[in-house]
Structure 1
Amino acid sequence: MKYSNQLRLLVAVDCIIFGFDGEQYKLLLIQRGFAPEKEKWSLMGGFVRAEETLDMAAERVLNQLTGLKDVYLEQLQAFSEPDRDPIERVIAVAYVALIDIKKYQQQIDDSFHAQWFTMNELPQLIFDHREMVTTALNNLRYKAALHPILFELLPEKFTLPQLQTLYEGLYDIKMDKRNFTRKLLSTNLLKKEKEKDKSSSKKGAFYYSLDETVYKNNFENFLNFVSKNDLNVLNE
């Protein structure tokens, strides 16, 4: 039995994959392998299969490209302009993934001709994919001010200067080092390691790691790293 006189639609998922290389935010793109817009730069996506939920489809698409499982992956929103795809009526549901570039660089499937691009040097993207990326970036800025999701972009051990660079890069602002460090350590999210990173100075900076238990249990009660004044600057 089917509903009568109703249009059949295709549903796709597109993965917006953000990474951080220690200095800059990057976006993972592929070259589309079929018409229309063949060989043009695109987000990694695919159609939802009959037996899949949206989440299952997004996890499959992400795994096909990166070989990754159990990474931060969150549904963003649906994009449904009637003419967004020139072939058929396709509703796309975008997902945001956050991964550590250095850890997973070697796992990316070369068959998709995937490449990392810095956020200020993105190529022209197909369809409405640029709109998806802009929406995802704005949403990431909002969520990162409230919850510690940016830790998903870091390696297991990192320094406080690296973490500050991570936040400053997302918001394109400069933060006071003392205030940032004080807020950060007051969360009890971090465990201080014995080793130091001496790549940028002789004195070096201690490595820290994330206390996974505190992270999971206090995710919704996270003390803001970014002040209201900083967010107001972004909205001006």
Structure 2
Amino acid sequence: MKHLRKNTPSRVLPLLVLAAVIAGCATTEMTAQWKDPAFSGALTGNRVLVVCQARDDTLRRVCEDQWATRLAAHGVTGISSYSLPGFPPGGAANPEEMAMAGRETGATAVASTQLMLSDFAVVNPGPQVGFGLGGGSGGGYRGGGFSVGGIGLSFPVGGATTTRSLGSGTSLVDLASGAVIWSGSATTSASGDVTSQVGALTQVTIDALHKAGLIR
């Protein structure tokens, strides 16, 4: 005779904690930001040179395209550094080179972003196959494994994958004064889709610029 197993508090509580941890990790947020209190202007209607520094050129281009698209929604023309002839490869330009390139394109500001992999890694185990040993009748396939009463055993059949969260650090420089007028850091949850991570980081940073009154 089979007996239904009750979900006692000792069983349910760990599941609730795990769900809360997962929900808490699946976020993209600003972790710090600063604005020059003496700056009162806005970038709407102007041109901004966008420079992204990343581990490879593809990610750099994705980042700069994301910035240009989202700035356009606020009436700002974003100029991707990768589109400029002679700009340092990989966006590895120093502040003077960025300022010079910005002025040559008619930009009033430079938005430079560094993309960084987080030290925090999430390991996703591969699928498992299990089988049961012992007496009892009946058996079946449950959740990626077989069971036949008694003792159930399982073992992995595929390699685990590791994903990392992504972070960004952004500085906005006013070319007229040469001063940093805003800076901020953001993080996003671990994912295997880096393009989506970059998009999320860009969006949360653009939202922060909007709240700071730098774009409208």
- State the TM-score bracket (shorter-chain normalisation): under 0.3
TM-score by length of 1: 0.22
Report which of the two has the higher share of strand. 2
Larger Rg: 2
Structure with the greater relative contact order (CA < 8 A, sep ≥ 6): 1 or 2?
A: 2
Report which of the two has the higher share of helix. 1
